[in-house]
Amino acid sequence: MPLEDLSLNLHTVRKQWTLRQAVEACARHGYQGVAPWRDMVQEISPAEAARIFQANGTRVTGYCRGGLFAAQGFDKLTEAIDDNKRMIDEAAALGAECIVMIGGGLAPGSRDLGAARKTFADGIAAIMPHARAAGIALALEPMHPMYAADRGCITTLGEMLDICDALGPGLGVAVDVYHVWWDPDLAAQIARAGRRIISHHICDWLVPTRHMLTDRGMMGDGVIDIAAIRRMVEAAGYGGIQEVEIFSDHWWSRPGDEVLATAMQRFKTAC
């Protein structure tokens, strides 16, 4: 696989670099794309971020992250929909290839996971016309069940594909190995996804995992059979870029150039 098939989720080096520094470093290290987070973009404006991407010839493989429709409360759905529409406009200004959409947690004070899941689907339905008009694909990302309460109420690829089935074109899924590797139904659901896979994220699951949020591993350092998942995704018809996304106290403590060089090397040997 050619080097240009790697993208970097900028959260991976957010403790080391500004958006501009990270994009320039990615270009030096042979990354063809990046995936910025919204706060990084808003800090300098979408227009300025777009100039940085263009100046470096950098693809914007995803914009992180929308969705979270129930997280502020069921009575705040309208505000969440409006905010997601603004994010679509920002993504268009950036030239982003998709927006990554996550379930978000339970509504405050609620124990109703089913209601949070339904609200997510309702929110996606509400913003689809805006996304289609803007030409921005939405990549629905299931999250690991350990985040079900506070980050991603939708935990399986199967659930996200049910939403894609219901709501039609313009929707796809993001397959992040960290979130889905444990799923006994993974092979079947990746095959079912087919060409609806529009984003593919890689990192590793460490044993032991010392922190639920900030202890993801570099590819090859953990137990995920990344190559096997890549084969499933390729067999389903995905031939696009892969995106390194590592939230890690360890890797945030290392020089950014070391992180980028290591990830590129592991991409070639451990994925």
Residue 240 interacting with a copy of itself (CB under 8 A): no
Q: Please, which residue, 44 or 113, has the CB nearer to a copy of itself?
A: 113
- Give residues 149-208 in contact with a copy of itself (rule: CB under 8 A): 149-150, 154-156, 158-159, 181-184, 205, 207-208
Q: Which of 2, 57, 75, 111 is in the footprint of a copy of itself by CB under 8 A?
A: 111
Cβ contact 61:104 at 8 Å: no
Q: Which of 223, 249, 258, 265 is in the footprint of a copy of itself by CB under 8 A?
A: 223
Smallest gap from Cβ 144 to a copy of itself, in A, equals 7
Smallest gap from Cβ 138 to a copy of itself, in A, equals 20
Residue 269 interacting with a copy of itself (CB under 8 A): no
Residue 112 interacting with a copy of itself (CB under 8 A): yes
Site size toward a copy of itself (CB under 8 A) is: 31
Backbone angles phi, psi at 65, to 5 degrees: -150, 140
Closest-CA residue to 222 (of 155, 271, 175): 271
Smallest gap from Cβ 249 to a copy of itself, in A, equals 15
Sign of the CA dihedral running 251, 211, 267, 23? negative
Residue 56 interacting with a copy of itself (CB under 8 A): no
Residue 47 interacting with a copy of itself (CB under 8 A): no
- Give residues 114-153 in contact with a copy of itself (rule: CB under 8 A): 117, 144-146, 148-150
Smallest gap from Cβ 190 to a copy of itself, in A, equals 14
Q: Which residues bind a copy of itself (CB under 8 A)?
A: 105-106, 111-113, 117, 144-146, 148-150, 154-156, 158-159, 181-184, 205, 207-209, 212, 222-225, 228
